[in-house]
Structure 1
Amino acid sequence: MSETLTPTTGDKATATGILLEDVTKRFPGQDKPAVGGLTMEIPRGSIVMLVGPSGCGKTTTLKMINRLIEPSSGRIILDGEDVTGIDGDQLRRGIGYVIQAGGLFPHMTVAANIAVVPKMLNWDKDRIQSRVDELLELVSLDPALYRDRYPKELSGGQQQRVGVARALAADPPVLLMDEPFGAVDPITRQRLQDELLHIQSELNKTIVCVTHDFDEAVKLGDWIAIFDEGAQLVQYDSPERILANPANEFVENFIGSGAGLKQLTLTRVNEVELASPITAGIGDLASDTLSRLQGAGEQNAVVLDERERPIQWLSRRQLSRLDRHTDAVDPKLPVISEQSTLNDALDTMLVSSTGAALVTGPRDRFLGLVTVQTVMEAITAANDAAQQGSSSAPVGLNSGGIRRGTETDGQAAVQDDAGAAAGQGTR
């Protein structure tokens, strides 16, 4: 097994490219294959979303990558190495896997759940504890509060965060996710999606994710693969080009109505300019903050805690009634992540009395404000950019012809691309 696929023992793992080469899966008693002759490039360091109707073969495709389901024929190549013949348990220790609702062991604490694979790899106790705390911080769970809890003591969203942490425990280069956020409420789902994007910005994994939610695919994916029955690739391209140029009526129907509005999900908050408001810290005099607001001609100030996380957003009137800023947290604070889409931002701002939203980055650190005007200006730019994408789509086809993006060509093109596909991304 290649060193790249082995969980790391020191430095962060580098991302790994994946190539499914003419992969077929036939289940006993079925006339048609669940996956038929699929060749598909998953570029190194990218997020690839597998979408399609129920029973189309997307989960089967995902599970064949780590050989939870064995392919009937074809090859699976990770970072240049054919892994279809190696020990399956060894392979899976080098690939993170996240399922719906986290899939945590109920009789084990959070720390013990996260430590499962490191223990299998014979890491020492101190190193495991350090890694557990590091990962809990990464998924925005305070280690002191959560490491000794059991899954039943966590909310659904918290369980899912622990599931992601467990999948990342041995720092695998590849992360597979099967409907990871399908069992949580919409608000928690948005936060978990943002958290995944934060994690990806820090760790640069190769991520393959199955979802039924096309909006989720647009938000998270660098590339989207749309499957029909038998894992037949109908279109494999960037979210921008799929929305602007659906390959056929099947794709149009799958996208659904309001494709124009879905363009709002193509631009994230970190791509627009943020405003810098007046800020204050816990213990500061409210009168000093009010004076600074009046001098700057602004109406509201953001109170930050010792870790620079926003906890209050106070108006001049509220400040005039205070002595010093306290550590009380406003549960209704209109906060969004820098990885949130413009659509998320607008949803949040519509319920905010200030017509703006507070933007946070990694570890929930405050970055600035996004306003309705900023979003409206960005919408025009996003719509223009959606028509001008130039990056080549990854290779994707079923036996009989290549499908790269929306264009169909001959089988020969696959031979030219396949040698580089496993180890080289196109973005």
Structure 2
Amino acid sequence: MTGAGILLDHVTKRYPGQARPAVDGLTMEIPAGKTVMLVGPSGCGKTTTLKMINRLIEPSEGRIVVDGDDVTQMNGDRLRRGIGYVIQAGGLFPHMTVATNIGIVPRMLGWDRDRIAARVDELLELVSLDPEQYRDRFPKELSGGQQQRVGVARALAADPPVLLMDEPFGAVDPITRLRLQDELINIQDELQKTIVCVTHDFDEAVKLGDWIAIFDEGAQLVQYDTPERILGNPANEFVENFIGSGAGLKQLTLTRVGDVGMAEAILARPGEPARDVLARIVAAGHGHAVVVDSRERPIQWLSRRKLDRLQTIGSTPDPGLPVVGSRATLSDALDTMLVSSAGAALVTGRRDVFRGVIDIKTVMDAIGRSQDTAAMDSTDAPVGLNTGIFGAVTTDEVASADTPGPGTGTGDTPAAQ
């Protein structure tokens, strides 16, 4: 099942004893199959907005429509079984195995045992965890990154059209965080779910989001736009300050590795005579050979000097291999290349299959092209207005907007009010 469209229609959330609503008259369209990042300072209402979509928090006013159905009129438990939800650290049940954690919702939905087992293995493969190795482990036997991968697999278990993520990668180290971001991009590229994700990290929002919604206090929607236009044309001083310094460097996150040219490589396989591989790379004028396993995943990157010392190609993976996913950003690729002795990186696609080699010159050329493309983009930005008491707008202000009102966006441009 692919993604479903979501509409928050004049949604307000008030808490007793608070002078201002946590969310004040928010109307926002979230396009089907897209990733929308909710960002803003602490206490601005972004998590409240996220949790109202699956009614972990009940809205005080307004409608929330998912795939044409007003979910505020639906049984809350039934609604949540059809929406994936991921939190920090995965939120796994410690007394259950990985397989049992992933299969919770399918069991609630009445799936049979064989179907659940097949789905568990399928999802572990999807998040790059070997089912044979991980399905019977308990959460305490996993690293933080592995727990988060299982959390994503569990959220996808019943094939929901919508995936809600609340600071999903906030509790892991920076290196693991980058890998999990790449994994999510690969998963979304394959499944095309509707993803709504809360983050404090603007760089993460730029990397993951098709659209970014920047909130101020009271869930005031200050700007709702593409990452490119937010970086190139912030709506006001608040957005400029939120983006922070180094907006130019953030342009590195706007282009994916798979969108630029990659060089081919000479491939080798474990057990092959090293002299045969060396002869192939000399004949091709290459300096290295990429060793791939039976599933075409890179496990070693051998120079001429190393090959000259070997009899046969080994099968032990190199833990320091400079690898980036095809959906990783140029910023991630550049970081990887700077620590690589080859001054380049290996690019992998779906299921970590090797696709090619990228070098620094290719990255620098692509940056220039990306900046030129962003400067030429003249598509109207979505309206960003709130209609609550503290975010009230006049009829004249709405009429003067260049883009359609809520729920009437044209093409891929979401409408937000």
- Letter of the 1:119 counterpart: R
State the shift of 1:389 in Å.
2.4
Whole-angstrom distance in 1 between the partners of 2:65 and 2:260: 38
Which residue of the partner structure matches residue 153 of structure 2?
A: 165
* Alignment RMSD: 1.8
Matched residue, 1:336: 324
Partners of 1:272 and 1:240 in 2: CA distance:
17
1:364 and 1:254 map into 2 onto residues whose CA distance is 35
Confirm or deny that 1:309 pairs with 2:297.
Answer: yes
Q: For residues 342 and 61 of structure 2, what CA distance do their matches in structure 1 show?
A: 59
1:97 is aligned with what amino acid?
Y
Instruction: Report the counterpart of residue 126 of structure 1 in structure 2.
Output: 114
Give the letter for the 2:147 counterpart.
Q
Give the whole-Å Cα distance in 2 for the aligned partners of 1:411 and 1:27. Answer: 32
* Counterpart residue identity of residue 251, structure 2: Q
Q: Which amino acid aligns with 1:113?
A: N
Tell me, yes or no, if the aligned pair for 2:7 and 2:407 is still in contact at 8 Å.
no
Q: What is the DSSP-based 3-state SS (H/G/I as helix, E as strand, rest coil) of the residue aligned with 1:122? A: coil
Aligned with 1:227 (options 212, 215, 226): 215
Provide Cα deviations, 1:355-389, integer angstroms capped at 9, x if missing partner: 10001111111110000010011010011112122
Number of corresponding residues: 409
Matched-pair contact (CA < 8 Å) for 1:75–1:84: yes
The runs of at least 4 aligned residues of structure 1 exceeding 3 Å deviation read: 390-396, 411-421, 423-427
Partner of 1:100: 88
1:41 aligns to 2:29 (yes or no): yes
1-side partners of 2:222 and 2:325: how far apart? 33
Q: Deviation at 1:282? A: 1.0
The amino acid that maps onto 1:18 is: I
Quote the residue 1:292 is aligned against: 280
Aligned residue type for 2:413: T
Residues 42 and 394, structure 1, Cα contact 8 Å, conserved in 2: no
Q: Deviation per CA, 1:316-354, whole angstroms, max 9, x where unpaired?
A: 110011111111111111111111111111111100111
**Residue of structure 2 in register with 1:58 after alignment:** 46
**Pairing partner for 2:240 from 252, 266, 288:** 252
**Cα separation, partners in 2 of 1:373 and 1:366, compared to 1, 3 Å:** same
CA distance in 2 between counterparts of 1:289 and 1:192 reads: 34
In 2, Cα distance between equivalents of 1:358 and 1:284: 21
The CA deviation at 1:83 is: 1.0
Decide whether the 8 Å contact of 2:222 with 2:384 is kept in 1. Answer: no
Alignment partner, residue 111 of structure 1? 99
| Structure 1 pair 125–395 and aligned structure 2 pair: CA distance change class (3 A) | farther
CA distance in structure 2 between the aligned counterparts of 1:356 and 1:332, rounded to whole angstroms: 13
Q: Which runs of 5+ in 2 are unaligned?
A: none
Listed as ranges, the gaps of 5+ residues in structure 1 are 1-12, 403-407
Look up the SS of the partner of 1:41 in the other structure: strand
Percentage identity across paired residues of the two chains: 72
Per-residue CA deviation, residues 241-279 of structure 1 (Å, 9 max, x unaligned), is: 000001111111100000001001000101101100111
Asked if 2 retains the 8 angstrom alpha-carbon contact of 1:40 and 1:397, the reply is no
Matched, 1:277 2:258: no
Asked if residue 426 in structure 1 is aligned to residue 397 in structure 2, the reply is no
What are the residue-to-residue correspondences of 1:203-214 with 2, within 5 Å? 203-214=191-202
Q: How does 1:21-36 map to 2 (within 5 A)?
A: 21-36=9-24
CA distance in 2, matches of 1:420, 1:177: 26
Distance 1:424 1:170 in 2: 29
TM-score, with structure 2 as normaliser? 0.95
Q: Distance in 1 between matches of 2:324 and 2:310?
A: 27
2:66 pairs with 66, 78, 81, which one?
78
Kindly indicate whether residue 162 of structure 2 is the aligned counterpart of residue 174 of structure 1.
yes
**What is the rounded CA distance, in whole Å, between the counterparts of 1:111 and 1:151 in structure 2?**
11
Of residues 303, 306, 311, the one that matches 1:318 is 306
Contact 1:43 1:424 in 2 (8 A): no
The correspondence for 2:174, drawn from 180, 186, 198, is: 186
Question: 1:192-235: CA deviations, max 9, x gaps?
Answer: 00100100111000000000000000000000000000000111
Report the alpha carbon displacement of residue 392 of structure 1 after superposing the two structures with TM.
4.5
Q: Following the alignment from structure 1 to structure 2, what is the Cα–Cα distance between the partners of residues 411 and 113? A: 50
Whole-angstrom CA distance in 2 between matches of 1:412 and 1:382: 31
The one-letter code matched in structure 1 to 2:289 is A
Provide the C-alpha distance between the structure 2 equivalents of 1:319 and 1:159, rounded to a whole number of angstroms: 38
CA contact (8 A) 1:280 1:303 kept: yes
Cα distance between partner residues in 2 of 1:411 and 1:164: 42
